[in-house]
Structure 1
Amino acid sequence: MNKELIINSSATGVDIALIEDKKLVELHREANDNAFVVGDLYLGKVRKLMLGLNAAFIDVGYEKDAFLHYTDLSPYVKSLLKFTQISQDWKAPEIYDFSRFSVEPEIVKSGKINEVLSGKPNILVQILKEPIAAKGPRLSCEISLPGRFVVLTPFNDIVAVSKKIHSSDERRRLQKIIDAIKPKNFGVIVRTAAEGKNTAELHDDLNALVAKWKDIQQSLKGAAAPKRILSEQGKTTSIIRDLLSADFNKIVVNEKNTYDEAVGYIRKVAPEKVDIVHFYNQAAPIFDTYGVTKQVKHAFGKTVSLPSGAYLIIEHTEALHVIDVNSGYKSAGNNQEENSLQTNLEAAEEIARQMRLRDLGGIVVVDFIDMKLPDNKKKVLEAMEAHMKLDRSKHSIVPISKFGLMQITRQRMKPEVIIKTEEVCPTCNGTGKVGSSIILEDEIYNTLEYLFSQGHKKLDVLVNPIFHAFLTKGIWSKKRQWSWKFKQLIKITPNNTLNLVEFKILNEEGDEIIL
């Protein structure tokens, strides 16, 4: 698979498009003033404990207090509270040695929020979900610092290896390396990208994260809540960090500072791939040149067409997203079951892409075309699971029910990507209805009758070209009927600037008559 990252930097922010095999699959937006991004660390102040919800509201500087549920506290939250207090009160010019930190006992899974956060203390928290709609950020106390090959988790000594590394020998090798180089009081999660990497590469990545933890300690000294302690890397760098692999063959950037940032990061983590970064300085917009704009226009409408003629209808409700699969004029033969199967398989690929592209979250219900054979339903499920493997968000897929419905849950960390490809009709104002042509005809007739009675002559009626054709059609047209009726010369002129139910009347001098 060929992957390309197209980065469009503007005065308002950065737009990032991920393209896989020439198809747009992810679209990210990073505003210049963006705060409360997933992964950011804040020193927060507990404002309110909600015993009924078993949760707390935390002031992190957002207009609405952030939400912290008991299940997101982390088993090591007592250690985190202790660490936050020590770091804030530390008087020495140098930061204390974290390896000497004494870890507190874990909390119980079935505990109560007031047992842990009584006294409303300051606490170090991490953004779990960005603010969405009227909700503030969602927080977690399970602090994690992601690198390219490993993720650092303070207050524990656990070493875990990604399940996506299937070789048992490789998993044991990585486990052995991390056990040897891991500092005390830190847990490490080995990422899939670490497969095949040597000790030096893993050690460098781990040391960079430990240094970042020391920066956090330093930032906490004397800090007053609420305060941002550590900002996640820019969206550009974080996407490169998470996605950079052997099949990544091009990164194109249209702004010099962002280009330098991308080059600097790749030179540090993968110097052999620094040549894939290209600076774009052409006059045409970068998204137009690489076909992103065209794909956005086609992909973000309510109706999404498939190459075969089948199409999807994507609707959003307050509770869930609904995707309806329609066969259109697609036909794979005279066998209806085979037609349904082929259409559903094609739709499964596009649905997986649409969920990534729009970042649909929560419950997604897909209404596939009815199939009778259980084996065919299983094939569609397997196809959906295969296409969803490329999705970095956590998700779960339920097999197709007897009603032909598939339920998918997908985790969303940021607001859904919504790009409007439609606008309100200027004629009907979104009602779907316009005034009757008979009513418009009568309105023009009555206006002419009044103007001629006031002494006007040789009037020119400007109308939409479609209505012009109606008024001038035939030998005994409406125009001729009116001229005969009023014994006056009437001119009817088409005008493209007028909508279907508008008209203007000009006098002999060509001036508009305003009534």
Structure 2
Amino acid sequence: MKQMIVHCEPDTIQMALIEDGRLVEYAAERGREQSVVGSFYKGRVVNVLPGMQAAFVDIGLKKNAFLYVDDVLHPHLEKQPKNKPSIAELLSVGQELVVQVMKEPRGGKGARVTTHFSLPGRCMVFMPKSDYVAVSKKIQREAERMRLKMIGERLRSGEEGIIMRTVSEDEPVESVAGDLEMLRMEWERIMERAHTSESPDLLHRDLGILQRFLRDAFDPLNDELIIDRERDAKEAECYLSDLVPGVKPQMRVYEGKNHIFQAYGVEEQLKSGFSRQISLPGGGTIVIDQTEALTVIDVNTAKYIGGDNFEDTVTRTNLHAAREIARIIRLRDIGGIIIVDFIDMEEEEHRHEVIAAMEAGIRKDRTKSFVVGWTKLGLLEMTRKKARESSAAPYSRTCTSCGGTGIM
């Protein structure tokens, strides 16, 4: 069972997801800084750069959005031309088009946008023009995968595409069909507004943080929702009643004297989870350093002395670290390239065990992650998709004394 703890302030909502007593996800959103990822805009092409195979699109934000050629071609790979055309053949300056934000604006960069549209629902992701059906890899039973794929093929029409999400496992056809119909209506509303509006214009904004978490991470049948503001609790209840009609979720309003994050142990776990050095259950440590290009994680035995066999001690420490690293990456929402410097192991079998532990940990992550493998220098390389700014970023700042280096 999971617990979703929600702290509400006049202009901020903070979400904490707890699994088996451990904090695994955290997110925060200020009302005036709501994420634009997933939002649809009607934009105007302001620059086409054949040398970069990209275009810049004015969508009404401070910085023009970046549109790469691959995000203009047909979303189904089999329907793309064998030789990629120049971006100048596909787009022209002044052209209006509908785009969807796939990456948040960060630093000096504008948002990254695409014409490969997708609308997430509870059971599926609806793709109006993708022309294929896929099933989440986290659904492993082959018979269930085939059932869902057949349902998707039967329900979709024309060039519609569908990805069946993990929650669709064992769902009746009626639930899946209802989800699809709701998403179709949403898409039609977006297109109707696009036909009547002038660019640049916001056509559709993705759900706020509370609704997104309820849609993507909350199981109304098994999980518990605890909110410390009654108004938001009522909104959550109304949203869940629309999302899963007939199901009464476990939810309540927190009325204790202490801060809700203190009462449920979230505050303490946030402090330790966002520290540079994190202690492992067995006495080892991991040290995390994030740079512009990648995140580097170092594993140390520290106080863990293990048994008589050094290889066994190292392997146990690395296995503890792999499980904790998978949790911390998810908690901090670390994206991009991640390099882990595990303690050197002699046996190939032990290296396989560590990769297996890491892969088992990231399977629980809703964000797409991939373990690449060991480099020639014995480092573990992995990647994780990054769309939104880190949840901690709005609440942290670079030290004015050391400039972020940690050295004086």
* 1:50 equivalenced with 2:49 (yes/no): yes
- The residue identity in structure 2 corresponding to 1:177 is I
Counterpart of 1:237 in 2: which secondary structure?
Answer: helix
Q: Which residue of 1 aligns with 2:60?
A: 61
The structural deviation recorded for 1:265 is 2.0
* 1:8 equivalenced with 2:23 (yes/no): no
Runs of 4 or more, structure 1, over 4 Å off, are: 105-109, 419-434
Asked if the contact 1:149/1:193 (under 8 Å) is kept, the reply is: yes
Asked if the contact 1:130/1:414 (under 8 Å) is kept, the reply is: yes
The structural deviation recorded for 1:218 is 2.5
The structural deviation recorded for 1:179 is 3.3
Asked if the contact 1:367/1:406 (under 8 Å) is kept, the reply is: yes
- Do the aligned partners of residues 126 and 422 (structure 1) sit closer, same or farther apart at CA in structure 2, a change above 3 Å counting? closer
Report the Cα distance in structure 2 between the residues aligned to 1:184 and 1:372, rounded to whole angstroms: 55
Q: Which residue of 2 aligns with 1:336?
A: 310
* 1:130 equivalenced with 2:129 (yes/no): no
Counterpart of 2:223 in 1: which secondary structure?
Answer: strand
- Do the aligned partners of residues 193 and 339 (structure 1) sit closer, same or farther apart at CA in structure 2, a change above 3 Å counting? same
Asked if the contact 2:221/2:247 (under 8 Å) is kept, the reply is: no
* 1:305 equivalenced with 2:279 (yes/no): yes
Report the Cα distance in structure 1 between the residues aligned to 2:135 and 2:340, rounded to whole angstroms: 34
Aligned residues: 406
The structural deviation recorded for 1:70 is 0.8
Q: Which residue of 2 aligns with 1:26?
A: 25
The structural deviation recorded for 1:48 is 0.7
Worse overlay, 170-179 or 66-75: 170-179
* 1:75 equivalenced with 2:49 (yes/no): no
Structure 1 gaps of 5+ residues are: 78-104, 435-515
The structural deviation recorded for 1:173 is 2.7
The structural deviation recorded for 1:192 is 2.1
TM-score, scaled to structure 1: 0.73
Q: Which residue of 1 aligns with 2:119?
A: 145
Q: Which residue of 2 aligns with 1:39?
A: 38
Report the Cα distance in structure 1 between the residues aligned to 2:34 and 2:397, rounded to whole angstroms: 30
- The residue identity in structure 1 corresponding to 2:26 is L
Q: Which residue of 2 aligns with 1:460?
A: none
Worse overlay, 272-281 or 404-413: 272-281
Counterpart of 2:358 in 1: which secondary structure?
Answer: helix
- Do the aligned partners of residues 326 and 232 (structure 1) sit closer, same or farther apart at CA in structure 2, a change above 3 Å counting? same
- Do the aligned partners of residues 391 and 59 (structure 1) sit closer, same or farther apart at CA in structure 2, a change above 3 Å counting? same
Asked if the contact 2:35/2:388 (under 8 Å) is kept, the reply is: no
- Do the aligned partners of residues 323 and 247 (structure 1) sit closer, same or farther apart at CA in structure 2, a change above 3 Å counting? farther
* 1:164 equivalenced with 2:163 (yes/no): no
Asked if the contact 1:300/1:421 (under 8 Å) is kept, the reply is: no
Q: Which of 175, 192, 196 is residue 201 of structure 1 equivalent to?
A: 175
Asked if the contact 1:150/1:202 (under 8 Å) is kept, the reply is: yes
- Do the aligned partners of residues 211 and 322 (structure 1) sit closer, same or farther apart at CA in structure 2, a change above 3 Å counting? same
Counterpart of 2:152 in 1: which secondary structure?
Answer: helix
Q: Which residue of 2 aligns with 1:315?
A: 289
Worse overlay, 370-379 or 261-270: 261-270
- The residue identity in structure 2 corresponding to 1:236 is L
Counterpart of 1:288 in 2: which secondary structure?
Answer: helix
Q: Which residue of 1 aligns with 2:300?
A: 326
- The residue identity in structure 2 corresponding to 1:46 is V
Q: Which residue of 2 aligns with 1:499?
A: none
Report the Cα distance in structure 1 between the residues aligned to 2:67 and 2:119, rounded to whole angstroms: 19
Worse overlay, 355-364 or 161-170: 161-170
Aligned positions of 1:219-234 closer than 5 A: 219-234=193-208
- The residue identity in structure 2 corresponding to 1:338 is D
Structure with bigger gyration radius: 1
- Do the aligned partners of residues 154 and 236 (structure 1) sit closer, same or farther apart at CA in structure 2, a change above 3 Å counting? same
- Do the aligned partners of residues 432 and 402 (structure 1) sit closer, same or farther apart at CA in structure 2, a change above 3 Å counting? closer
The structural deviation recorded for 1:109 is 6.0
* 1:269 equivalenced with 2:268 (yes/no): no
Report the Cα distance in structure 2 between the residues aligned to 1:299 and 1:326, rounded to whole angstroms: 17
Percent of counterpart pairs with the same letter?
Answer: 36
* 1:411 equivalenced with 2:359 (yes/no): no
Counterpart of 2:70 in 1: which secondary structure?
Answer: helix
Asked if the contact 2:74/2:130 (under 8 Å) is kept, the reply is: no
Q: Which of 140, 155, 158 is residue 181 of structure 1 equivalent to?
A: 155
Deviations 1:158-183 (A, max 9, x none): 23333333333333333333333334
The structural deviation recorded for 1:106 is 5.7
Worse overlay, 205-214 or 240-249: 240-249
Asked if the contact 1:45/1:121 (under 8 Å) is kept, the reply is: yes
Aligned positions of 1:440-451 closer than 5 A: none
Asked if the contact 1:357/1:417 (under 8 Å) is kept, the reply is: no
* 1:379 equivalenced with 2:353 (yes/no): yes
